[in-house]
Amino acid sequence: MEKEDIDCIAIECENETRENITILDVSTNKQYRFGLPLSPLTKTVLKKILQEIEDIKEVDYIVASGSLPKHVPLNIYAQIADIATRKKAKFIVDTTGVPLQHAIEAGVYLIKPNLGELSALVGKKELLPNEIVDVARDVVTKNKCEVVVVSMGPEGAMLVTSDFVQHIKPPEVIRKSTVGAGDSMVAGIVYHLSLGKTLIESVQYGVACGTAATMNPGTQLCRKEDADMLLTRLELTEL
């Protein structure tokens, strides 16, 4: 992050908090991901993390993502949502299961579930294509959540608010790796929001960034020139 000239706050902890291995079968171009068991995070470290977020003076957006290490309370994202509310910052969450449910009950601006995560959130095994919009809108109307962006792999994403729905589909690309595609989508959305772009423009750019990330091998993330090119080739459908 320092090489990218990004300000960061490092909080030391006793254990590695996350470790993944991704294997590519070159004969089929399929990826296999192995998420290793997460190490515990102590209460002291967790308290420091929350305090650092609390101490930030001016912030427009707070993004929290990922699964939780052992011993981290399942309402941790809800706690951060309370901090965001006090700071009048837009809170964006990319997680799943009970932590996501706690977050939307506490109050978030935007969530980015994939189809499986959205299904789990509403207690279903899977969603049919014609159910996605209604289920996502229910999440918005029945919880403290303004925007749901449902990521759908090669099909792009569905942007759903209480009064607007748009399907954003990218062009077909040669997919070399899907590692970091979802993170790239969230980054693209927040980046364009921070530039003053509309929500619709920002989610479109997020889809472009997520798709651009799949064009690179391994853990490489998206290239801006790829994202900018894809942005001009999106297929947009208002529903």
CB 210 within 8 A of CB 181: yes
Can you tell me the distance from the alpha carbon of 97 to that of 155, in angstroms, rounded to the nearest whole number?
A: 23
Return all residues near 39 (Cβ < 8 A) that are at least 6 apart. Answer: 15, 16, 17, 69, 70
Instruction: Indicate the length of the chain as a whole number.
Output: 239
- 183 included as an active-site residue: yes
How many CB atoms are located within 10 Å of the residue 164 CB?
A: 12
Catalytic-role residue among 138, 163, 183, 226: 183
Q: Cα separations (Å) of 193 from 40, 100, 110? A: 34, 22, 12
Alpha-carbon gap, residue 90 to 188, rounded angstroms: 15
Q: What is the DSSP-derived secondary structure letter of residue 145?
A: E
Beta bridge partners of 94: 65
Give me the active site residues, please: 183
